[in-house]
Structure 1
C-alpha cells in the first residue's frame, strides 16, 4: 500500500498530486497505482458541509439512494433532490452526481482543473452516508480522488487496476465466480488482497480506473469524489477517420439491402461485398495518409482554442 503525508497545500490542484512534483505523481501513480495522501494539519477549505451538500442539489443533479437488498446485493435508486434528506435520515447513502454545478467553490475548482489539464473532463460527486452504510464492491471506468470532508469512512481497495482502461463501471454481483462484460471477463475480487484504511477529514485517496474498492461509513461520512475522464485515443482517431470518410461520396454510401429469399439473394450479397470493399479501401487510404503529427495537431486545436495563436 502506497501512503504519503500531505502537508498544507495552497490549492486542490497541489493536493491531488501529492507532496512531490506533478510529474512524479503522473510517472508513479497515474493510471498505474493507488496512493493514499494522509493529511497533516488543517484540511482543505472547500466551504462544503452537509447543509451545503443538500443546498447544492438541483433539478440538474442526478441524485441516487444507495442500499443493500435483503440478499446483500448493492442497489441504487434514482430519487428527487427533495427526497435526499429524508432518505439519508432513514439510513440510506445519498450520492449526488456533478454536485459542483450547484456549489460556487467546487465549480471554480472544476474550471481551474480543466483549464490546467486540457482535454480531460472533471466532475465532483458527493457521498453522504450514515453510520454503517456504504458502497458495494466495484470499479470505475475513470480515475478518482476521494476527498474526505466530514466524519470518517472505511475503505477497502486494491493497489493496481484489475482491468486496464475499462470502458464501463462494474458493480460485482454476489455469488459469481466470474462476471462477463461485453469487452472482458473479470474474476471475483479477493477481499484478502485489498488494503483497509479509514479516511479522516482532509485525507485524499487516489484510485486509478479499474481498481476494485468498497466502503463502509465508520461513523457518518461526507466525502467528495473528483473524477478525471480523459478522451480515449481510439475514439478520437475513429472520429477523425469518420469525418474524413463522410467528406467523400464513397464514405457516405449506404449499405445495400440483402434480399431475404430467391435468386436475387446472391446478387444483393455481391453488391454488399463490393460496397464494403470500396469503403474499406478508402479507409485504408485515409489511414495511410494520417500521421501522428497530423493527429496531435488536430487534437490540440480541438482542446485548446488559443493553440493557433501561440
Structure 2
C-alpha cells in the first residue's frame, strides 16, 4: 500500500499548476513498484512505448525501443524510459490511487526510468504537470523559474534548453517527491544507479480541442448553419466588424451548447495517448459464464490505464470509456446515479460487490459488454 504524506487541500490551493514543491519522504517506507530487470523486459515488447536516452557532453541521443539488449550503452550516462507502466503492470494500481485527488481525466501515464550514473535527459521544459518520485538510488534535480530560454545548440527540433538558474537544487532519495508544474525548466542527473517514477497529468490545448470539435462536426454532419447578416459594408472588399463578430458567434453557439460539447469532452478526455492492454476474451462471455465465474469467487478488474468518466450535469445517463459512450439509461432511476458513480470510482469490484451489481439484469448486461470489449477482466 502506498500512502502519500501530503496535505492535498493545501497542495491544490497553493502549489498545483502554480509553483514547484519538494516533499521529502512523501512516501514513507517506499518500495520500488517494479524491478529494473522487469522494466527492461517490458521494454522488449513491441506494444510498450520505450526509449533509451544517452547523455553526451553537449546533447542527448535518443534510441527508440523495443530493445533486445542494453550492453551497447555501457555502464554510465544512459537511462531507460518506459511510458504508461500502469497500462501493462497491474501492481501499479495502489500507487496510482494515491494521486486520485487529481481528476482521472488529467492523468496521462506513469513513466518509469532506470538510470545509470550520469544518465539524464538534459535541461528541458514540459507542457504538463509531473510528480517525480525517487525509488532506489539517488538523483540530483534542479528546477528553474518560468521564463524565456534558448533552445539547446539553437536547434529548432530539440526540447532541450541551454540552461537556467535553479530555484530548487536537491538530491532525491527513496520516497522523496518533486512536483513540477507546466512551464518550469528542470533537469535530472543520476548520482547512483536509480529507479524513478513520473506521474504525468495533461490537459488538452486549444489546438487539440478545436481539432476535435471540427472532426466531431464532420463525423455527425453537424454545424451546418451558415452566417447571415442584415447589413452589408459600403466597400466590396471590406470584411466588416459586424460580419467578423457574426461568424465568430456561429462558433460560440456550438462551443456553448452542452448538447454538443458534453459528449465531445467525454469522448476526448476518456481516451489515452498510449496503447491499452485490451483483454478481449477468446470467446464472448455469456450471462451463464459470468454467473459461474462469480460463483467460483471471481472479482472484476478494470484494465490498467482505462479511463471511466462521467460528465457533471449531463442529462443523459451515460459514462465515457476509452472514447465510447456506455449507456446506463435502462437502469432504474433511483439507483442509476449510484451505479454510475461506482463504476467511475472503483478500479476493481470484489466478488461480493460484483454479485450485488449483477442482481440487476441491466447492470449485468453492461458488465458483460465491458468484459467482451476487453475493458474489464475477471480474476480471483
Equivalent in the alignment of 2:54: 67
Choose the corresponding residue for 2:205, options 219, 228, 232: 232
Runs of 4+ in structure 1 over 4 Å off? 107-116, 248-251, 277-283, 292-303
Instruction: Answer yes or no: is 1:128 the counterpart of 2:114.
Output: yes
Post-superposition offset of 1:206: 0.7
Post-superposition offset of 1:72: 1.8
Indicate conservation of the 8 Å contact 2:130/2:179, yes or no: yes
Equivalent in the alignment of 1:284: 249
Instruction: Name the CA distance, whole Å, in 2 between partners of 1:40 and 1:106.
Output: 17
Equivalent in the alignment of 1:51: 37
Choose the corresponding residue for 1:204, options 155, 177, 193: 177
Post-superposition offset of 1:244: 4.6
Within 5 Å, which residues of 2 pair with 1:249-264? 249=224
Q: CA RMSD in A?
A: 4.1
Equivalent in the alignment of 2:152: 173
Indicate conservation of the 8 Å contact 1:146/1:223, yes or no: yes
Equivalent in the alignment of 2:146: 161
Equivalent in the alignment of 1:141: 127
Unaligned runs of 5+ in 2: 227-235, 271-308, 318-336, 338-380
Equivalent in the alignment of 2:222: 247
Choose the corresponding residue for 1:151, options 127, 137, 145: 137
Indicate conservation of the 8 Å contact 1:129/1:221, yes or no: yes
- Cα 1:30/1:292, change in 2 over 3 Å: farther
Post-superposition offset of 1:235: 3.9
Q: What whole-Å deviation, never above 9, does each CA across 1:40-85 have from its counterpart, x for those lacking one?
A: 784334532222222333212222221234x522222224232346
Indicate conservation of the 8 Å contact 1:46/1:105, yes or no: no
Q: What whole-Å deviation, never above 9, does each CA across 1:2-37 have from its counterpart, x for those lacking one?
A: xxxxxxxx646xx2xx521x2321221111111111
Instruction: Name the CA distance, whole Å, in 2 between partners of 1:127 and 1:171.
Output: 27
Indicate conservation of the 8 Å contact 1:128/1:221, yes or no: yes
Choose the corresponding residue for 1:219, options 192, 202, 212: 192
Q: Could you tell me the TM-score, scaled by structure 2's length?
A: 0.56
- Cα 1:77/1:40, change in 2 over 3 Å: closer
Within 5 Å, which residues of 2 pair with 1:107-126? 109-110=95-96, 117-126=103-112
Give 3-state SS (helix, strand or coil) of 2:202's partner.
strand
Instruction: Name the CA distance, whole Å, in 1 between partners of 2:85 and 2:207.
Output: 30
Q: Which has the higher contact order (CA 8 A, sep 6+)?
A: 1
Instruction: Name the CA distance, whole Å, in 1 between partners of 2:67 and 2:93.
Output: 19
Instruction: Answer yes or no: is 1:36 the counterpart of 2:22.
Output: yes
